[in-house]
A and B are shown apart, each in its own frame.
Chain A
Amino acid sequence: MSLVEDVLVGAVRQGSPVLFATHGELVAERSGVVNLGTEGSMLCGALAAFATTVATGSPLLGIAAAAAAGALPALLHAFMVVDRGANQLANGLAIFFLGLGVTAALGSSLVGRQINGLGVAPIPLLSEIPFAGPILFAHDVLTYLALLLAPALWWFLYRTRWGLVLRATGERDEVPFAYGHSPRRVRYLALAAGGALAGIGGAQLALAITLTWVEDLTVGRGFIAVALVIFAAWEPLRAPLGAFIFGGALSLQLQLQARGVGISPFLLETAPYVLTILALVVLSSRAVSRMPRGLSAVFAGAQRA
């Protein structure tokens, strides 16, 4: 395969777990709550998926366990932020460290265990299409799910009543409240769903990509997701682009090295961050105008005096 094809296959493959987490963070932030604990949800999901697959031999049960385990830390975040009025950023970081520590302790006996995991399931016919086939249609099932979630979330946000309530909660929560909806309940649900999605992203890392559990398996991918939500300007249809840029940069530098091309991996690895900053600079006025207004207290830049 050509370099472009190899890199794009890698971009989708490596981008997919981050895309799940990005979808999850996007749902949470649309309700007006930032969850820096997404990394912790990914880790809980990865461990739960791996442990369940070791115990039962079923990756599908593993994915279900990952969704539940990913939702748990997010619910704790909801409790602290929504009910106890904790600082969102500080509490999110605390949730991340909690997840890192708890999964490291609980998972230590699972290091080195083997699983069968999720294999590649090429989609008949579609995967035969030249160029696009291997890039988009020859992955594990979770990758297809991550891709389908982008339009599904768009449809949910903009075409359903519940999506409207979610968006309204993130914008001006007194409005849904006036119509009889509880912003508290919406935020709990949004955070739980977001944590579950991040957990599934962790499951994909453990079950499909690495077939491994080690502590800190995610190595910061949950934080990338938080940045990618801003990059995507809170729009589900833009999230895949950001996630694939992350996966593509990672894949490109490895593919170039394997071809003996001298390029600094340190430099290339900053690509997703550089792109996020660039996107913020270029789109900042537009991005800020698209930002759920409920986040402005958390995210507003320092105001000019």
Chain B
Amino acid sequence: MSRPKVRHLIAVAIAFALAATLIACGGDEESGAEGQTTIGFLYVGPRDDFGYNQAAFAGSQAVAEAFPDAEVLQAENVPETAEAERVMENMIDDGATIIFPTSFGHLEPALNVARKYPDVTFLHQGGLDTAENVGTYFGTIWQAQYAAGVAAGMATESNRLGFVGGFPIAQVLLNVNAYELGARSVNPDVTTSIVFTSNWCDPAKQAAATNSLIDQGADVITQHQDCTNTVIETAARRGAKVTGYHFDASRVAPEAWLTGAAWSWGPLYVDAVRTIEAGGFEGSKYDGRYRSGLGEAVQLTPFGGAATPEIRERVEAAAAEIRSGELEPFTGPIRDQGGRVRIPGPQPSVEELEETDYLVEGVTGEIPG
């Protein structure tokens, strides 16, 4: 190594050391306020998408309300890459001790950051891996999709339901399957067509997908997309009925709205923060893969104009049975499209369900290879 290069390296090293000192001092200063908790939330999309991210953001607002002294940091549009690690480390520099990475793909970055900061607790939304300071939670939203399927199965006249999906991941397949099973529980002739848009929010493509389903005779439409507005608008304009997803968007089409599967994260977030604050994270339900059920983090939205009294009654009865544990949507034998039995027994585990890689019989469409 020649002399100038060595000098260069030393200069860079000094600069880094200086920067590190400055950052460390800054950190000390900011965390000086005693007793004040800082909680960070990361969203993969905009917090006002009428869907997944808006539901998570509403949960963070509940946290801010429940802990008026806490500082709540928000980061929207955080990609599911190493960028998420930088965002989380910035939040930690700003004093965050609890972080909610709310998108599925934020799990790897969270696990990486968690290794470096053992004193910070991470609560990831939907993940299947945990660590000592990383817990994951989610909701069994397929239970609400089953109940919404009951509404769809009663409301359809063509016996064809349409489902606009994003990517063929287990959570989407589980929702399509639950929807068809719920519909079939009240209407044995009903089928559900699934179309994947290979995107979580491309409204123009959502419109085309919705149109293609209605072209094929579907008269009740649901979806699993991050932004949900366009599918509802498009379906309602063509005279189809809708059930919602992620978020109560009934005001977009009040007359076409039956019901919907939606998140209500506020109470769960607040309880998790309280548990961590009390030093009880370890050993609590939040230190593993907690799944909140229908009636808790998973809710049915209020009924809309398209829901007749009979529909309301059947849907509420099904929801009550699911809540009490009397009804398990995936009670075997559950067969896939090819007739193969995928769930033989009455009570599949959550792990088993979240590895779903098939469509049940009655669903039209294929999982893209």
User: Which residues in A have some Cβ–Cβ distance to B below 8 Å?
Assistant: 1, 6, 10, 13-14, 17, 104, 108-109, 111-112, 114, 205, 209-212, 214-217, 219, 221, 250-251, 254-255, 257-266, 269
Which listed residue, A14, A205, A214, A269, touches B227 by the CB 8 Å rule? A214
Least distance between B287 CB and chain A CB atoms (Å): 35
Contacts of B249 in A (CB 8 A): 112
Interface residue? B202 (CB, 8 A): yes
Q: Roughly how many angstroms separate A112 CA and B48 CA in the complex, as a whole number?
A: 8
Chain B residues whose C-beta falls within 8 Å of the C-beta of A217 in the assembled complex: 203-204
Taking the closest CB of chain A, its distance from the CB of B224, in whole angstroms, is: 14
Task: Decide if B209 is an interface residue (CB 8 Å cutoff).
Answer: yes
Q: How far is the CB of A177 from chain B (nearest CB, A)?
A: 42
Q: B46 touching A104 by the CB < 8 A rule?
A: yes
- The docked-state distance in angstroms from the alpha carbon of A211 to that of B253 is 13
Instruction: List the A side residues contacting B196 at CB < 8 Å.
Output: 257, 265
Provide the residues of chain A in CB contact with B204, threshold 8 Å: 14, 17, 205, 209-210, 217, 219, 221
CB-based contact A112/B50 at 8 Å: yes
> Which residue of chain B has its CB nearest to the CB of A264?
B368
- CB within 8 Å for A260 and B193 given contacts A112-B50, A210-B207, A211-B233: yes
* Measured CA separation A255–B366 after assembly (Å): 13
A108 to chain B, nearest CB (A): 6
The CB with the most chain B CB atoms within 10 A, among A221, A251, A255, A257, is that of A257
Compute how far the CA of A124 lies from the CA of B103 in the bound complex, rounded to whole angstroms.
49
Q: List, in ascending order, chain A residues with CB within 8 A of B237's CB.
A: 211
CA distance A13 to B48 in the complex (A): 28
**CB pairs A–B below 8 angstroms (23 shown):** A6-B215, A10-B211, A109-B48, A111-B50, A112-B249, A112-B252, A114-B233, A210-B206, A210-B230, A210-B233, A211-B230, A211-B233, A214-B49, A215-B46, A219-B202, A251-B208, A254-B197, A254-B212, A257-B366, A260-B193, A264-B368, A265-B197, A269-B198
Distance of A274 from chain B, by nearest CB (Å) = 16
Q: How far is the CA of A152 from the CA of B103 in the complex (A)?
A: 48
Q: Please name the 9 residue pairs, one residue from A and one from B, whose CB atoms are nearest each other, closest first.
A: A262-B366, A210-B203, A258-B212, A260-B364, A257-B195, A254-B212, A111-B48, A219-B202, A210-B230
Main SS class of interface, A: helix
A212 touches B233 (CB 8 A): yes
User: In the complex, which residues of chain B have a beta carbon less than 8 angstroms from the beta carbon of A112?
Assistant: 48, 50, 229, 249, 252
Q: Knowing that A258-B162, A262-B369, A266-B198 are A-B contacts, what are 14 other residue pairs whose CB atoms are under 8 Å apart, sorted by A's residue number? A: A6-B215, A10-B212, A14-B208, A17-B204, A210-B207, A212-B233, A214-B49, A215-B46, A217-B203, A251-B212, A254-B212, A255-B212, A265-B196, A265-B197
Q: CA separation between A87 and B213, bound complex, in Å?
A: 45
Q: How far is the CA of A64 from the CA of B234 in the complex (A)?
A: 24
Binding site for A on B (CB under 8 A): 46, 48-50, 77, 162, 193-199, 201-209, 211-213, 215-216, 218, 227, 229-230, 233-234, 237, 249, 252, 364-366, 368-369
Q: How far is the CB of A45 from chain B (nearest CB, A)?
A: 14
Across-interface contacts of B208 in A (CB, < 8 A): 10, 13-14, 250-251, 254
A219-B204, A266-B198 are known contacts. Are A258 and B215 too (CB-CB below 8 A)? yes
Q: B364 contacts A212, CB within 8 Å?
A: no
Residue among A104, A112, A219, A261 with max Cβ neighbours from chain B (10 Å): A112
**Closest residue of chain B to A252, judged by CB?**
B212
User: For A260, what are the chain B residues with a Cβ–Cβ distance below 8 Å?
Assistant: 193, 364-366
Question: Closest A-chain residue to B46, C-beta based?
Answer: A215
Taking the nearest CB of chain B, how far is it from the CB of A200, in angstroms?
A: 15
Q: Which of A205, A258, A261, A266 contacts B213 (CB 8 A)?
A: A258
Determine the residue in chain A with the shortest Cβ distance to B213: A258
Whether the Cβ atoms of B216 and A259 lie closer than 8 Å is: yes
* Contact between chains at B199 and A255 (CB < 8 Å): no
* Distance between B305 CB and nearest chain A CB, rounded to angstroms: 16
What residues of B have a CB within 8 angstroms of the CB of A215 in the complex?
46, 77
Pick from A209, A263, A265: contact of B198, CB under 8 Å: A265
Whether A258 contacts B198 in the complex (CB less than 8 A), given A14-B204, A211-B233, comes out as no
CB contacts (< 8 Å) of B365 on chain A: these are: 257-258, 260
Measured CB to CB, the closest approach of chain B to A134, in angstroms, equals: 11
The complex places the Cα of A167 from the Cα of B164 at a distance, in Å, of: 46
Known contacts: A210-B206, A212-B229, A258-B193. The answer to whether A266 contacts B368 by CB under 8 A is: yes
Q: What's the nearest-Cβ distance from chain A to residue B202, in Å?
A: 5
Q: Which residues of A contact B233 (CB under 8 A)?
A: 114, 210-212
CB-CB < 8 A to A216: which residues of B? 201
Take A205-B204, A214-B227 as given contacts and tell me if A114 and B215 are in contact as well, using a CB distance cutoff of 8 Å. no
> B49 contacts which chain A residues (CB < 8 A)?
111, 214
Residues of B within 8 A of A214 (CB): 46, 49-50, 201, 203, 227, 229
Among residues of A, the one whose C-beta sits closest to the C-beta of B160 is: A258
CA distance A148 to B343 in the complex (A): 57
**In the assembled complex, which residues on chain A have CB atoms less than 8 Å from the CB atom of B162?**
258
**Smallest CB-CB separation from B364: which chain A residue?**
A260
Residues in A with CB closer than 8 Å to B216 are: 258-259
Distance to closest chain A CB from B242 (angstroms): 14
- Please state if B48 and A257 are interface contacts (CB–CB under 8 Å): no
Q: What A residues does B211 contact at CB under 8 A?
A: 10
| Complex CA–CA separation, A216 to B202 (angstroms) | 8
CB-nearest residue of chain A to B214? A258
Complex Cα spacing A104 to B53, Å: 15
Contact present for A212 and B230 (CB under 8 Å): yes
> CB-CB < 8 A to A265: which residues of B?
196-198, 368
CA distance A265 to B168 in the complex (A): 11
Bound CA span A257–B167, Å: 13
Q: B50: which A residues are within 8 A, CB to CB?
A: 111-112, 214
Q: For the complex, what is the distance from the CA of A108 to the CA of B249, rounded to whole Å? A: 17
Q: B212 contacts A257, CB within 8 Å?
A: yes
Tell me which residues across on chain A come within 8 A of B213, comparing CB atoms: 258
CB distance from B184 to the nearest CB of A (A): 17
A11 → B minimal CB distance (Å): 10
Cβ distance B61 to chain A, nearest Cβ, rounded Å: 15
